[in-house]
Structure 1
Amino acid sequence: MRLDRYLVDIGKFDSRQKAQEAIRAGRVMLGGKVVQKPSFEIVDSSLEGDESVADRLESRLAVEISGEEFVSRAGRKLQGFLEECKRQGVARAWESAIDVGAARGGFSQVLLRYGVKHICCVDVGSNQLHPTIAKDSRVEVFEQCDIRVFTRRYTRDFDLAVCDVSFISIRHIIDDLCKLSSELIVLFKPQFEVGRGIKRSKRGVVQDQNAAQSALQECIATICARGLSVRLVAESSVKGKEGNAEFFIYACRESCS
């Protein structure tokens, strides 16, 4: 039986993808030893299908999962950035927030842990938000909703706007983010910012780092042009799924400092 499947079978994770991410991140130990290969065989494959296998193994294998569990990789990304904000002396507390591109709710999960009392989750997709986030009384959900439509329909004001979007440039929605809050934390993803003409690897990694850095500076300039000051730019401690280096940008109006 593969290790990733086994971890799901015994209830350590609710999907093989999440189990695989934890394994590759070095968070899974068997018998006190870190195992970083999801396909690691912990029992002869001929026994697969035997419902009692997982139960028998659990009784004799010492499985340890280190670190906090997140509903998505995005949670680990934001957690790492907020810790960096604290180290740099720019950390703040927020009462309310809007999570643009909420997806599974990784950003929202972290913000709730940080004491945010009300979060509005907005995403163009549907049925993505993890049940533990969707059912939280502090969370308000807007599915199948483009943030540009949201700002036309609603006049809302939040202490913080966080943004993790794909297949669109941050620059195209920065005005909408600024309508929602005077304080922004956005995740810059180079593959959606550099343009289609820039060379990528088969996995989708942007290979022209000069183009990636130029796009990052353009994004920062766009934010500053809206009257915000950038307080911190830092590379995410967790790379994107394709392997791209991503960057967090934290900006706010002078009144936030």
Structure 2
Amino acid sequence: MRLDRYLVDIGKFDSRQKAQEAIRAGRVMLGGKVVQKPSFEIIDSSLESDEGVADRLESRLAVEISGEEFVSRAGRKLQGFLEECKRQGVARAWESAIDVGAARGGFSQVLLRYGVKHICCVDVGSNQLHPTIAKDSRVEVFEQCDIRVFTRRYARDFDLAVCDVSFISIRHIIDDLCKLSSELIVLFKPQFEVGRWIKRSKRGVVQDHNAAQSALQECIATICARGLSVRLVAESSVKGKEGNAEFFIYACRESCS
């Protein structure tokens, strides 16, 4: 039996993807040793069939999961960035926030842990938000909703707007983000910011470093042109799924300094 499947079968994770992410991150130990291959074979050759394998193995294998669990990789990304904000002396506290491109709710989970009392989750998809986030009384959910439509329908103001979107440039929605808050934390993903002609690997990793950096600077310039000051730009401690280096940009109006 594969290790990722086994961890799901015994209830350590609710999906093989999450199990694989934890394994690759070095968070899973078997018998006190870190195992970083999701395909690691743990079935005992002495077992005659797969029926009941998980139950029988669990009684023999010492499985340890280290580190704090997040509902998605996005949570680990934001957690790392907020810790960097603290180290750099730019950390702040927020009462309310809007999570644009909420997906599973990783950003929202971290913000709730940081004491945010009300979060509005907006995403163009549906049925993606993790149940623990969706059922939280502090969370308001808007599914199948483009943020550009949201800002036309609702006049809302939040202490902070966080943004993690795919298949669209941040520059196309920056005006909408600025309508929602005077403080922004956005995740810059080069694969959605550089031109389609820019060379990529088979996995989708942008291979033109200069093009990625140029696009990052253009994004920063777009934010500054809206009257915001960039307080911190830092590479995410967790790479994108395909392996792209991503960057957080924290910006706010002068009044938030």
TM-score range, shorter chain: over 0.9
Report SS of the residue matched to 1:217: helix
Aligned mates of 1:227, 1:99 — CA distance in 2: 21
C-alpha displacement at 1:195, in angstroms?
Answer: 1.2
User: Unmatched 5+ residue regions in structure 1?
Assistant: none
1:120-142 per-position Cα deviation (integer Å, ceiling 9, x unaligned): 00000011001110010000000
- Following superposition, the deviation at residue 58 of structure 1 comes to 1.1
Q: Deviations over 1:76-107 (max 9, x none)?
A: 00000000000001000000000000000000
Secondary structure of the residue aligned to 2:46 is: helix
The secondary structure found in structure 2 opposite 1:57 is helix
Could you say what secondary structure the match of 1:119 adopts?
A: strand
Q: Which stretch of the first structure deviates more once superposed, 69-78 or 51-60?
A: 51-60
Partners of 1:46 and 1:186 in 2: how far apart?
Answer: 52
CA distance 1:256–1:35, change in 2 (3 Å): same
The superposition leaves residues 180-238 of structure 1 with CA deviations (integer Å, 9 ceiling, x where unpaired) of: 00000000000000011111110000010000000000000000000000000000000
Report how far residue 43 of structure 1 moved: 1.2
How far off its partner does 1:59 sit?
1.3
Aligned partners of 1:104 and 1:190: how far apart in 2?
A: 21
Correspondence for 2:136: 136
The Cα of 1:45 is off from its aligned counterpart by 7.0
**Whole-angstrom CA distance in 1 between matches of 2:14 and 2:31:** 22
Structure 2: distance between partners of 1:168 and 1:49: 48
| Deviation larger for 57-66 or 215-224 | 57-66
| Equivalent residue pairs, number | 257
CA distance in 2, matches of 1:79, 1:247: 13
Which 5+ residue runs of structure 2 have no aligned equivalent? Answer: none
| Structure 1 segments of 4+ aligned residues over 6 angstroms from their partners | none
Q: 1 CA distance for matches of 2:52 and 2:247? A: 45
Deviations 1:47-98 (A, max 9, x none): 5963422111111211100001111000000000000000001000000000
Pair 1:215–1:49, CA change in 2 (3 A) = farther
> Relative to structure 2, which stretch is displaced further, 16-25 or 49-58?
49-58
Shift, 1:44, TM fit: 3.9
More moved, 91-100 vs 51-60: 51-60
Structure 1 residue 243 displacement after superposition: 0.5
Distance change in 2, residues 1:57/1:219 (3 Å): same
Q: 2 CA distance for matches of 1:187 and 1:199? A: 21
| TM-score, scaled to structure 1 | 0.98
In structure 2, distance between residues paired with 1:168 and 1:153: 21
Identical positions, percent? 98
